[in-house]
Structure 1
Amino acid sequence: MGTMSYAEGDVRTIEAEGNPARFARGWHCLGLADRFKDGKPHQIKVFGSELVVFADTKGELNVLDAYCRHMGGNLAHGTVKGDSIACPFHDWRWGGNGKCTDIPYARRVPPLARTRSWSTLERNGQLFVWHDPQGNPPPAHVTIPDIEGHGSPEWTPWQWNSVLVEGSHCRELVDNVVDMAHFFYVHFNTPRSFKNVFEGHIASQSMSFTPRKDKRTLDFGDDSVTQSDASYFGPAYMIDEFHADIGADEPLEAVLINCHYPVTSNSFVLQYGIIVKKMAGMSDEQAAALAKGFGDGTIATFEQDIVIWKNKTKIDNPLLCEEDGPVYQLRRWYEQFYVDVEDVSEDMIRRFEFEIDTSRAAAIWEKEMEDNLAAER
């Protein structure tokens, strides 16, 4: 029996260009701000380079290129002295604005003694650095919003985790914004509604879901319904607000941060944090345990994603059905951060809305779950 042959053009082929050589324009979270305020310099591998983070005497965080412009010493191996970072090689001192403030053994500081200083932002207890290949300052309207619950005694502190993801570009993570079906097959949840809105520098996902009956990461009961409203503010920072009906007098409220920064064109650091609102009658210890449970569940969720990313191939021309959502539109929105600001086109930033009818998928999945449970009995 002979093998079947196909004429040219009958078979869909995968198209994939190399990852972008440049890194996204926008605010990138480097982690919780307090971790950098211990009086020591901290080295960060990001944007294909090395940066150093240090706090001055006022507690304000500064970010400079890591390597001294004198003879190339690593400032992250140096010492914070007053409001400056001192190089371990020859003790040249650099202020947060990038200017050399002192050379102890020299009569004067060369007038051109300057290194690169990065624009920073502290918000929600986190440190952000602005990246723009063109060197433009951050526009006032492109910022990170305040999270209302952060810092309130009614909410827990951040449960924070990070992981280096190698062999993948950041776009793999951002694609999740529109990927309704993977929440069932990868994350053990059944979407009941799913909508996307893209406008300007913000991409949003609104979803309600219930846990799968046969498998689940967090168990709030078979009848629990969770509402998730998530938005990327720029290319790398998502705020996700959860409201979970768990059968109590009030819903469980939590905020998840999903953020990342690129290390190279083919690797990134994924970070995620959780705060939870304390429910009536809940002690600080109980709230912290609940937040930890959320955090552990989030770790498991992202580990599920990472396995997929590490074993899939890059694809620029995905073959889609209607229920796959606006993948191409999301990628067009995302492209705005990889071109010069003068080349940002209207179709990258104009408002776009798309809502998926999840009723058929949910019915199919309910039947699959019932069959799985029946097979286990």
Structure 2
Amino acid sequence: MTVQQKIEPYVIKAEPRPERYARGWYVIGNAASVTTTPRMLEVFGTKLVAYRGEDDGAVHILDAYCPHMGGDLSGGKVCGNSVVCPFHLWSWGADGVCDDIPYAKKIPDKAVIKSWPVLERNGLVLVWQDPENNAPIPGQEPAEMTDWYSGEWTDWEMRAIPIKTLGRELVDNMADMAHFGPIHYSTVKSFRNTMEGHKFVQYMVGGHQILTEGDGGLITSVATYEGPAYMTTTMTGSMDGHPMTVHLLVSHIPVDMGNFIINFGVMMRKDPSLSPEENQRMLDEYTEKNIESFHQDVAIWNNKCIIDNPLMCDGDGPIHMVRKWYSQFMTNVADIRPDQVKAREHVTIDGPTVDEVLAAQRQ
């Protein structure tokens, strides 16, 4: 008689985490979200102020607390290209250097606060975060979306969604093929991931709870992370019998180590057969349906635990692959390993490719 070996329960592990935020570009909103009225940003465990200069029209982002007596610059006002503290009217230039104290004969040499690198691209405003305080890495800026500049697409329809967990949980979705059925009521016909350098891509073909292609047909989805927090997805399908091609934006920005905000956006290719009002109606309807879909994920994220040693099975997507890729942004630049950035591909479900489906739809 053989004695059955006792198997110990699996122990979930979550490693201690020092306060550190991934290196990269983060969306704070669309271009219209920053004006000459100072805007408070509670991000990266601190408070920043974003404003648009009256003279140069550019967006500037500074540390929000005045080092004089701790006043909050986001409660002040913009004067020229500077922001003026409401407490004692110290004025801080776009470079972070104090440029005026109305009652002082000499500005202290140490009167400098941090000025954060800013990028305006694709109708969006992004800020660069680097725990080593290095300048933005050349070649890691989000690529220009020619569609946004073409006039053939709508502008971004934006929403901000608060989430109570680590940003890495969102990035896991890029490889988590198995969650689409239970969470999004979608069917997956093919699922493939690639990584190289600062990019990670998900290619998926299947059914969808929002978009369809005919009756029970296929949609295509190509989702691309450029850095740790800027992801755009191009999807094709139809809604209410109208063919649709949309770009989705999903860019999370940490509030602190246990909370982040998803800046979610939708752009839609305009249907020339529809009026502007009808195109806007379709955009609004699709956006709201996507928000509902996202809240299906939110309900999971807000209640699940952090698990650093997930117990995987052979049908899962490459969670370890996407986490290794993501880890480069939590690593000092000098310590990045080749395996964190080398080109790799993983096919979870081998089926019709995105290119094959698009080619068949064009016929």
TM-score by length of 1: 0.88
Shift in Å, 1:280: 3.3
Q: How does 1:215-226 map to 2 (within 5 A)?
A: 216-218=209-211, 221-226=214-219
Q: Counterparts in 2 of 1:194-343, with a 5 A limit?
A: 194-211=191-208, 216-218=209-211, 221-244=214-237, 251-343=243-335
Equivalent-residue separation in structure 1 for 2:46 and 2:288 (angstroms): 31
Alpha-carbon distance, 1:247 to partner: 9.9
Query: 1:327: how far off?
Result: 0.6
- Alignment-derived partner of residue 58 in structure 2: 60
Shift of 1:210: 1.0
The answer for the alignment partner of 2:69 in structure 1 is: 71
Letter of the aligned partner of 1:183 in structure 2?
F
Label 1:19 to 1:33 Cα distance change in 2 as closer, same or farther (>3 A): farther
CA distance in structure 1 between the aligned counterparts of 2:338 and 2:166, rounded to whole angstroms: 25
Q: Say which of 34, 38, 42 aligns to 1:41.
A: 38
Corresponding residue SS for 2:302: helix
2:358 alignment partner in structure 1: none
Percent of aligned positions with the same letter in both sequences?
39
Question: C-alpha separation between the residues in 1 aligned to 2:269 and 2:125?
Answer: 23
SS at structure 1 position matched to 2:149: coil
Q: Give the AA of the match of 1:311.
A: N
Amino acid at match of 1:268: F
The separation in 1 between residues aligned to 2:68 and 2:79, in whole angstroms, is: 18
Give per-residue Cα distances to partners, 1:145-196, cap 9 Å, x unaligned: 1112113321112111011112x11111000001111111101110111100
Amino acid in the other structure paired with 2:286: F
CA distance in structure 2 between the aligned counterparts of 1:10 and 1:225, rounded to whole angstroms: 43
Q: Which amino acid in structure 2 is aligned with residue 252 of structure 1?
A: M
Residues 16 and 315 in structure 1, CA contact (< 8 A), matched pair in contact too: yes
Which residue of structure 1 aligns with residue 131 of structure 2?
133
Given the alignment of the two structures, is residue 28 of structure 1 paired with residue 26 of structure 2, yes or no? yes
What whole-Å deviation, never above 9, does each CA across 1:205-225 have from its counterpart, x for those lacking one?
0101113xxxx3456653332
Counterpart in the other structure of 2:341: 349
| Of 66, 85, 88, the match for 1:87 | 85
Give the secondary-structure state (helix, strand or coil) at the position aligned to 2:148: coil
SS at match of 2:173: helix
Work out the CA distance in 2 between the residues paired with 1:7 and 1:70: 68
* Uncovered stretches (5+) of structure 2, i.e. residues with no partner: 352-363
Which blocks of at least 5 consecutive residues in structure 1 are unaligned? Answer: 360-377
- Do residues 103 (structure 1) and 96 (structure 2) align? no
* Residues 333, 349 of structure 1: 8 Å contact kept: yes
Partner of 1:148: 146
CA distance change for structure 1 residues 15 and 286 in 2, over 3 Å: closer, same or farther? same
Partner of 2:185: 188
Q: State the distance in 2 between where 1:334 and 1:352 align.
A: 14
Whether the 8 Å contact between 2:91 and 2:100 is mirrored in structure 1 is yes
CA contact (8 A) 1:236 1:261 kept: yes
Partners of 1:204 and 1:131 in 2: CA distance: 22
Partner of 2:359: none
Aligned to 1:370: none
CA contact (8 A) 1:151 1:157 kept: no
Structure 1 residue 18, shift from structure 2 partner: 3.2
* Cα shift at 1:119: 0.4
**Cα distance in 1 between the residues matched to 2:4 and 2:72:** 59
SS of residue in 2 equivalent to 1:207: strand
Q: Which residue of 1 aligns with 2:356?
A: none
Cα drift, residue 8 of structure 1: 6.5
Question: Would you say 1:50 and 2:37 are equivalent positions?
Answer: no
Asked if 2 retains the 8 angstrom alpha-carbon contact of 1:25 and 1:235, the reply is yes
2:171 equivalent to 1:174: yes
TM-score, length of structure 2 as denominator length = 0.91
Shift of 1:35: 1.4
RMSD: 1.9
Distance, in Å, in 2 between the alignment partners of 1:303 and 1:247 is: 22
**Could you tell me how far 1:11 is from its partner in structure 2?**
2.6
Determine the C-alpha separation between the residues in 2 that align with 1:22 and 1:102. Answer: 34
Amino acid at match of 2:319: V
Report if the CA contact (8 A) 1:224-1:245 is conserved. Answer: no
